Amino acid sequence: MKSLSRKFGAVATALMTCIAMFAVAPTASAAPAASSSATATTYCKGAGTWDHVWTTTDSANGGTVCIEEYRDIVYLCDTAADGLAPRMNVATQSSSGQYNTRYTLTASGGNGTCVHAQESDGGSHDLPYDAWIYIDIWLGPLPGSYHYGKEFYING
């Protein structure tokens, strides 16, 4: 069943990629505005391929996270020239119901900088399937510093 689900997911992803190419069509030199999710995925290298796209809660959406569940690919990008580095925690739910941080990413190079992690990095980056994943995203040095957001999904 999971294999069939992944095949349908791959077909849907391919279709969305084709649609996104015609609808978005960004140029390499264009600086995308952070106001739309289609544009936000431009930062994450692959419009139309992401299962989840979230931003910080500030008006400029200064941090953007893009997640592809298959292969546990996570991109975090600084999407505003605001002087604050976006950060994120990736946590998984344990059998006791608690969430335990697996890893943290920081995009600290200024506007347009992205960092990523993926399953093939091994260890804590290999997220369990059919498990709840908890994402924290914020701007600034400490968790929850500025424009904090949290999201959950079941990794499938």
pLDDT digits (tens, 9 = 90+) for 91-105: 999 999 999 999 999
The reported pLDDT for the residue numbered 102 is 97
Mean pLDDT of 82-95: 94
Mean pLDDT of 126-149: 88
Structural domain of 48: 2-154
Tally of domains in the chain:
1
In angstroms, rounded to a whole number, what is the distance separating the alpha carbons of residues 141 and 76?
15
Per the model's pLDDT, the better-predicted residue between 83 and 30 turns out to be: 83
Q: Which of 76, 96, 9 is nearest to 49 (CA)?
A: 9
Per the model's pLDDT, the better-predicted residue between 10 and 77 turns out to be: 77
Do 143 and 89 form a contact (C-beta atoms < 8 A)? yes
